[in-house]
Amino acid sequence: MTPQLEIEFQRTVGQASVLTAEDARHFVERGYVVIHDAFSREIATSIASSAWDELESEYDVDRRTPATWQRNAEGAGIGGYVRTKGNGRKFVLNDVAPKALQAQADVLGGIERIRNGDRLAWGDTAIGNLGMPDERPWQPPGVHQRGWHKDGWHFRHFLDSPEQGLLTVPIYSSIAPRSGGTFLAIDSLRAVAELLAEHPEGIHPDGVQGAGYLIPGLIERSTSFVELTGEPGDLVLVHPFILHRVSRNPSTRPRFIANVAVVLDGPMCFSRPAGECFSLVEIAVLNALGVETIDFAATAAREALKPSPFRSAEERVRERRRLDVEMAKMASRGRRTPRWAVDFDYGTNV
Ligand SMILES: O=C(O)CCC(=O)C(=O)O
Ligand SMILES: [Fe+2]
């Protein structure tokens, strides 16, 4: 960090109450931090257990018999990967997990910067990566893999977008190494920040999702990866610009997490008036770009979009046209999808 940014960092850390200075530095420099025992094991295990109840009643699976788990297989190459609907329970963090709430406030610059911060709640849906022991060995994270993405399939992405202020991953079951933990490209923050800084008109969300044409060019610049591991009750806070992907779980240790987007009360700000602290999310962006402030102003309207799987035929055609125009413009400015992309199911603009 530059000396001036270090001063800003110390000011922000001085206001944190759950994150230690070490946690905060980890988040700024590595793009994520694991907060241990951020919420009770009871909440975690009750969500994981109701997820199994749902899977057993909806599919012909038995939680004790890994050979049955493949019956939920959803995505290509990721057997046993499933999202549960839950029972509609709500866990208001302020009431039942104040440490989890405060940890998020610590990285976002205060609870008042979180939309409905004092009523922020988790549901009881879960994402299971159940474990599919088969002949294919575990693969470590790497560039040439499918499904890398930036979260946020429902809005036009700007450098300061408030819709996905933070990516949070509450852990509901033990995640051992090589057992289905999410893969993070921890040095992808800079590539994503540079892209967004270059495009004040914003980026169509389809460009940065799993099949997004921009992803291969971005992930290609990463050399540093981690897989998330942890225990029930741990909360992983991930910077919104960190590219990540689902990993294949070849073990018999099922994994349950959630992925909760935190919405900010307003856009991020990279040139705050004296007396106002930057959030750690903002400091991470400034640090990644090697600057102390950025005068960012979006030049196109913020826009909510229907996520691609839910669009009507007509909407699909319309968004595809818009994306095609964006892709062509990017190509003409020299941002071209690398050749290998199509072999891993990404789009391409070349
Ligand atoms: O299941 C995982 O490991 C990651 C899920 C994810 O990236 C997402 O839901 O956006
Ligand atoms: Fe994601």
Terminal Cα distance for the chain, rounded = 37
What's the confidence (pLDDT) of residue 76? 43
Among the bound ligands, name the one nearest to the CA of residue 236: 1
What's the confidence (pLDDT) of residue 187? 96
> Phi, psi at residue 171, to the nearest 5°?
-100, 125
Q: Which CATH number fits domain 3-344: 2.30.30.100, 1.10.10.10, 2.60.120.620, 2.60.40.10?
A: 2.60.120.620
User: For residue 103, is pLDDT > 70?
Assistant: yes
**Could you tell me what percent of the chain has a pLDDT over 70?**
97
Would you say the C-alpha torsion 284, 287, 288, 294 has a positive or negative sign? positive
Q: What is the pLDDT of residues 1-50, one digit of tens each?
A: 999 999 999 999 999 999 999 999 999 999 999 999 999 999 999 999 99
Q: Is 304 exposed, middle or buried (0-12, 13-18, 19+ CB in 10 A)?
A: exposed
Among the bound ligands, name the one nearest to the CA of residue 183: 1
For the record, the structure tokens of 46 come out as 């009750």
The residue with greater pLDDT, 13 or 59, is 13
> Measuring from atom 1 of ligand 1, which residue has the nearest CA?
246
Say if CB 228 and CB 242 are below 8 A apart. Answer: no
User: For residue 77, is pLDDT > 70?
Assistant: no
CA separation, residue 293 to residues 131, 138, 282 (Å): 45, 42, 10
What's the confidence (pLDDT) of residue 17? 97
Q: What is the pLDDT of residues 78-100, one digit of tens each?
A: 568 889 999 999 999 999 999 99
**Measured distance CA(1)–CA(9) in Å, rounded:** 9
User: For residue 346, is pLDDT > 80?
Assistant: yes
CA 279 to chain centre: 18
Q: What is the mean pLDDT of the chain?
A: 95
What's the confidence (pLDDT) of residue 73? 54
With a CB cutoff of 8 Å and minimum separation 6, the contacts of 293 are 270, 271, 286
> Phi, psi at residue 157, to the nearest 5°?
-90, 125
What's the confidence (pLDDT) of residue 127? 96
Among the bound ligands, name the one nearest to the CA of residue 242: 2
Ligand 1 atom closest to the CA of 181, numbered from 1:
3
> Phi, psi at residue 92, to the nearest 5°?
-75, 115
> Measuring from atom 5 of ligand 1, which residue has the nearest CA?
246
Pocket of ligand 1 (CB under 6 A): 127, 129, 151, 182, 244, 246, 259
What's the confidence (pLDDT) of residue 12? 98
What's the confidence (pLDDT) of residue 75? 47
User: For residue 53, is pLDDT > 80?
Assistant: yes
Ligand 1 atom closest to the CA of 257, numbered from 1:
1
> Measuring from atom 4 of ligand 1, which residue has the nearest CA?
246
Say if CB 237 and CB 104 are below 8 A apart. Answer: yes
What is the Rg, in whole angstroms, of the alpha carbon atoms belonging to the chain?
Answer: 20
**Measured distance CA(173)–CA(92) in Å, rounded:** 20
What's the confidence (pLDDT) of residue 74? 54
What's the confidence (pLDDT) of residue 186? 97
Say if CB 186 and CB 225 are below 8 A apart. Answer: yes
pLDDT band at 207 (very low <50, low <70, confident <90, very high): very high
Beta bridge partners of 83: 127
Say if CB 54 and CB 123 are below 8 A apart. Answer: no
What's the confidence (pLDDT) of residue 79? 60
Left, alpha or beta for 86 (phi > 0: left; psi -120 to 50: alpha)?
A: left
- Ligand 1 centre from 209 Cα, in Å? 11
Ligand 1 atom closest to the CA of 182, numbered from 1:
3
Q: What is the pLDDT of residues 155-174, one digit of tens each?
A: 999 999 999 999 999 999 99
**Measured distance CA(191)–CA(344) in Å, rounded:** 20
